[in-house]
Structure 1
């Protein structure tokens, strides 16, 4: 007996799978398939793991338009949402980045103040001290060294632990579980178990903060539990989000950005030798544009019919906004495949756009400015201890980077 295949199923089978594979010899560039999609037009269809065929948006202007449109939803529980991975039965609470307003805005406002520009700038000397201490230890140790473990990972982990009030001594626990959460290839049940372990850990910590409050973000949120604005589970979920986002993304940018600069020694020399903080800030934004470690795209679903770029996205259809290809749009960034740290790249979409734009972007920028400047000035002879082809890249996760970066000097 043969089974009938509907025209829609047939079309879906012919579409490219998403996420797409990067070219082995071009690990810093978006997948070739995304380049093809961008050349074909601003919108196209792709096929996901579950057979669904959401729209993929490839042009910078259209990406910003849709991410800023209140007619698109970030709620993964809505029918048609293009989930990047299977969701295990029993999955419950989600973080506010997967909610819509007004609840998204209500929860986000509760954690906005610690990430304000003045508050983050006041942290710069402390971040510099952490950076220098890590480099002291690295320079005093054996060579070669894995830059990920010696520097790129502990720096943002120490910073976010201090900000949240999480004991850094537990970093192995939360880093091991966060690796599971951001890995697309693990089983849904395994991902759910890791989520529950982290939520339980943060829930216990919230209880400790209630009994012994301190000057940290979690202690501040505990006060909102006492007033009835939040539940203990709400605080635990917010803590999980901030803890993972606060170390995984920045750690990968430190390592991947360093690798990109080592492969572009002229740009590395400019950054290492400059005394201009504006050029350092420019370099950070250009690396965010050029690399874009969030490489599975922002996911949305249409709440109404939306006409854009000559197409109509129907209510209930999924939308994927791949930041990496938007940041290589030649209409916005001339010669987009060239790394140019003097470029004005501030309008990139590495942090997203609209109401869900990354809450921690000011902290990330500051940490990267401190880390890059200190690393290259204090280790001027920094170089790869091996070949680029041997570097293990993170092709299996929702956050792109490298698992290891062996360097010497």
Structure 2
């Protein structure tokens, strides 16, 4: 079995911080040639302005062209038919107009107004899990008992995925995203995930419910192929629980290690919105998002980029750029402010950002108020060092 690839520099962290070499790169040339986890050479872009430039221009920097270019070195071969199925419905692998067509169908389901309708149910879910933690008593693994199950249940109810299946799909998600697993294992997990979602899609086509899968079948069933439905639902399930879960876990640890700021989030409701934005910026759990292929000879940060070159955007260093915030390496929940690229930027800006924000704005204060003496059990925080989405595998807390 093939060895797990080395973690490339743009995915390396030092606790909450990006690798020091990345900060040095941002202060210097701002761009560097690297080798990705999949064995491909790429340019990594580190400055805020340059990252936004790349993310803003799907004409010069294409998501789809990268997928069409063929498999990366070391990846097992797949048939053209399977490759087409893998890409169908995946918004992260599409450019306009295909991306526009797919996203237009989903955008109404993720508006701030629509998310507000979910707020009472999200509060119920948060309270139910806090009740369970309280009954169980300390110590508790915050990741397993709160950070992971809350967004998992929310996205399951939203999509129409049985929550009873959560252990299986969470295990598959971990295998897909964890670079310490051999590539064959990660590909197997991806196939299993699609097969699982295909069964749910078939059920929704036979009897569409009131959830998002049912809505897509009822309103767009003539416009979407079964493979596209599977691809859309698979992406929403994966992104919908993995990202928010890691923000809840890692964000709580960050606040525990900054007790003065924790107190503000706990005791001053008017600060919660800004605190969530600052935690998103400071932690930047998505290392780079999807790679992009240059479609023409161009230039970024004074560096010539040839057509066909792969470009990766280092979101954590972009969000720690002094051009974006003064004292950017300090966590300061009093400043908040949008404009960061934690959710990406441009046409691929995270579709579920309103939902993620709402879950965090509800989850952090509720947790800290329920357990005002919440404390980290020293030595128990385990970071997801090899994962495509950064976070914690576990964190024991007491109160």
- Provide TM-score, normalisation by structure 1: 0.90
Could you tell me which of 340, 351, 360 is aligned with 2:352? 360
Quote the residue 1:145 is aligned against.
Answer: 140
What is the aligned-residue RMSD (CA, Å)?
1.8
Q: Does the 8 Å contact 1:225/1:232 carry over to 2?
A: no
Give 1:258-273 correspondences, 5 Å limit: 258-273=252-267
Distance 1:275 1:67 in 2: 33
Distance 2:285 2:153 in 1: 21
Give 1:277-288 correspondences, 5 Å limit: 279-288=271-280
**Bigger mean CA offset, 262-271 vs 107-116:** 107-116
Q: Does the 8 Å contact 1:80/1:317 carry over to 2?
A: no
2:302 aligned with 1:307, yes or no? no
Distance 1:32 1:286 in 2: 20
Q: Does the 8 Å contact 2:92/2:290 carry over to 1?
A: no
Structure 2 CA distance for partners of 1:31 and 1:335, relative to 1, 3 Å: same
Secondary structure of the corresponding residue to residue 195 of structure 1: helix
Structure 2 unmatched ranges of 5 or more: 1-6
Structure 2 CA distance for partners of 1:110 and 1:378, relative to 1, 3 Å: same
Give 1:86-125 correspondences, 5 Å limit: 87-90=75-78, 92=83, 93-94=86-87, 95-125=90-120
Count of matched residue pairs: 384
Distance 2:114 2:220 in 1: 24
Q: Which has the higher helix share?
A: 2
Distance 2:21 2:135 in 1: 45
Structure 1 unmatched ranges of 5 or more: 1-15
Using the TM superposition, give the Cα deviation of residue 385 of structure 1 relative to its aligned residue in structure 2, in angstroms.
Answer: 1.6
Quote the residue 2:178 is aligned against.
Answer: 183
Quote the residue 2:377 is aligned against.
Answer: 385
Secondary structure of the corresponding residue to residue 112 of structure 1: helix
Q: Which structure's CA Rg is the greater one?
A: 1
Deviations 1:284-338 (A, max 9, x none): 0100000011124541110012233322211111111010000000121100111
Using the TM superposition, give the Cα deviation of residue 47 of structure 1 relative to its aligned residue in structure 2, in angstroms.
Answer: 2.5
Could you tell me which of 182, 191, 202 is aligned with 1:196? 191
Could you tell me which of 368, 387, 398 is aligned with 1:397? 387
2:33 aligned with 1:33, yes or no? no
Q: Does the 8 Å contact 1:289/1:345 carry over to 2?
A: no
- Provide TM-score, normalisation by structure 2: 0.92
Q: Does the 8 Å contact 2:249/2:395 carry over to 1?
A: yes
Distance 2:366 2:43 in 1: 42
Quote the residue 1:7 is aligned against.
Answer: none
Using the TM superposition, give the Cα deviation of residue 226 of structure 1 relative to its aligned residue in structure 2, in angstroms.
Answer: 4.0
Q: Does the 8 Å contact 1:210/1:219 carry over to 2?
A: yes
Q: Does the 8 Å contact 2:9/2:19 carry over to 1?
A: no
Could you tell me which of 195, 201, 204 is aligned with 1:206? 201
Secondary structure of the corresponding residue to residue 319 of structure 1: strand
Quote the residue 1:318 is aligned against.
Answer: 310
Using the TM superposition, give the Cα deviation of residue 212 of structure 1 relative to its aligned residue in structure 2, in angstroms.
Answer: 1.9
